[in-house]
């Protein structure tokens, strides 16, 4: 549980560690605007996988607290429509009905 002193140090509802992860994540972006987790891990003293997980958790926490959550939009999508199955074409290129009607050659 967080103490009253911790709540005074909250930044947008995040702990100092979460805020630091997010801000350093922005500072450690590559040219393609993706977080370089190896750099972030080095700055925070974590492994790359730990930095990836902790950064993702902090990002989701921020989205949950401040309305950046996309799952609400997804819940409103109507999923009642069923996908129709298209029948497959026969492998030989002719249907079985035309084979029945065709004269037998012996």
Enumerate helices (H) and strands (E) in the chain, giving the number of each. Answer: 6, 0
d(C-alpha 49, C-alpha 70), whole Å: 24
d(C-alpha 28, C-alpha 52), whole Å: 12
Instruction: Indicate if the pLDDT at residue 5 is higher than 60.
Output: no
The pLDDT mean for the chain works out to 77
Taking only the tens place, the pLDDT of each residue in 10-21 is: 778 899 999 999
Taking only the tens place, the pLDDT of each residue in 11-61 is: 788 999 999 999 999 999 988 889 999 999 999 999 999 999 999 999 999
Taking only the tens place, the pLDDT of each residue in 47-105 is: 999 999 999 999 999 999 887 545 555 555 455 556 677 778 877 655 555 555 666 66
Whether the CB-CB separation of 39 and 31 falls below 8 Å is answered with no
d(C-alpha 43, C-alpha 8), whole Å: 25
């Amino acid at each position: 549980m967080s103490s009253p002193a911790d709540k005074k140090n909250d930044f947008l509802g995040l702990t100092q560690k979460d805020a630091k992860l997010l801000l350093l994540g922005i500072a450690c972006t590559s040219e393609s605007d993706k977080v370089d987790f190896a750099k972030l891990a080095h700055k925070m003293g974590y492994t790359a996988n730990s930095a990836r997980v902790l950064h993702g958790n902090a990002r989701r926490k921020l989205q949950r607290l401040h309305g950046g959550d996309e799952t609400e939009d997804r819940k409103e999508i109507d999923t009642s429509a069923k996908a129709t199955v298209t029948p497959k074409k026969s492998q030989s290129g002719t249907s079985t009905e035309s084979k029945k009607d065709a004269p037998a050659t012996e």
